[in-house]
Amino acid sequence: MNAFARLLAPLVLAIPLAGAPATAGAEDLWMTLPEEPTMPKADEAGLADVNGIKLYYAVYGSGEPLLMLHGGLGHSDVWGAQIPAFSEKYKVIAVDSRGHGRSTRDDQPFGYDLMADDVIALMDKLGIDKASIVGWSDGGIIGLDIAIRYPDRLNKLFAFGANYNLSGLKDNIDEDPTFNAYIERAGKDYARLSPTPDGFDDFVTAIAEMWYSQPDFSKEQMMGIKSPVAIVDGEYDEAIRREHTEEMAKLIPGAKLVILPNVSHFAFWQDPELFNKAVLDFLAGS
């Protein structure tokens, strides 16, 4: 059983999770889990029929398309501190991955290939030929999948807190109070947003099956990525090994390695100005 599966086991068994992370000062942002900022009003939102499910999306602003892909157990509303900044220049499309947030799922097992296919199908529905992607955690892995399998649909990829195989995961994620607090928050958000509000335990069980064996990209696949990529992580990521992040950046030709100081796997909440600047600088080419 991998570290993510161990972390989720208490949830599936309905055992109470650890409490919120310890109180930390401003100098210890990485120990905090700030509240989700309020989302702005979308210019357009809907449920797209793709691959046998209804995939939620929301559109903000205008310009070159920029897809925002959240992490595992999350939803598109995690980007409340990012979308106002990004939509000033880009047409931002925030997506709830299948089974997450407002999106439905079917009986197909979760898989990064399948979720990448959902994103491509949504792009087709919206008439988007090519887009950049900002992906956090599972969203970053979906971005890597698209970079490998759909290179002609990707402009640039900002992959934050991602791994390309299971060796990238730390062994003690289940002991981290910040990560436990995120899992607890995810359960409450699921009950609030999902069309199946009482189905969180089943949802967790289904997605944990994916985490047992995925992602499993090869070094050759990483080396074959042609799109501009930023491999990014927080200095104190609770889940991803630093050496794995550095390895990914070395494997992908021309990839930019960025380590954000004093933040963790949840940098976009902990220091949104720092996170947003890193994204915008990369997209602008600096």
Q: Where are the domains of the chain?
A: 3-284
Give the pLDDT of residue 174. 86
pLDDT at 114 over 50: yes
pLDDT value of position 5 = 53
C-beta neighbour count of 109 within 10 angstroms:
11
Rounded CA-CA distance 92/97 in Å is 16
Mean per-residue pLDDT, 221-247: 98
How far is 260 from 10, CA to CA, in rounded Å? 31
**48-96 pLDDT, tens digit each:** 999 999 999 999 999 999 999 999 999 999 999 999 999 999 999 999 9
Strand partners, 50: 53
- Which tokens belong to 190? 């699921």
Read off the pLDDT band of 7 (50, 70, 90): low
Tokens of 158: 């900002």
Tokens standing for 255? 């990839």
The pLDDT of residue 2: 55
| Separate counts of helices (H) and strands (E) for the chain | 10, 8
Residues of the chain above pLDDT 70, percent: 90
The residue-averaged pLDDT of 250-261 equals 98
Q: How far from 42 is each of 51, 59, 60, 83, CA to CA, in Å?
A: 24, 6, 5, 10
Average pLDDT estimate for 120-129: 98
* Residue 14 pLDDT > 50: no
Average of per-residue pLDDT across 169-183 = 94
What is the reported pLDDT for 10? 52
Q: Which residue has the higher pLDDT, 167 or 17?
A: 167
pLDDT-derived band at 198 (thresholds 50, 70, 90) equals: very high
Strands 229-234 and 256-260: parallel
What's 166's DSSP letter?
Answer: G
- Record: fold of 3-284: Rossmann fold (3.40.50)
Compute the average pLDDT of residues 28-53: 97
The tokens 């691959």 sit on which residue? 51
- Quote the DSSP letter at residue 169: B
Give the three-state DSSP class for 155.
strand
Which of 6-10, 15-19, 122-126, 272-276 comes out lowest in average pLDDT? 15-19
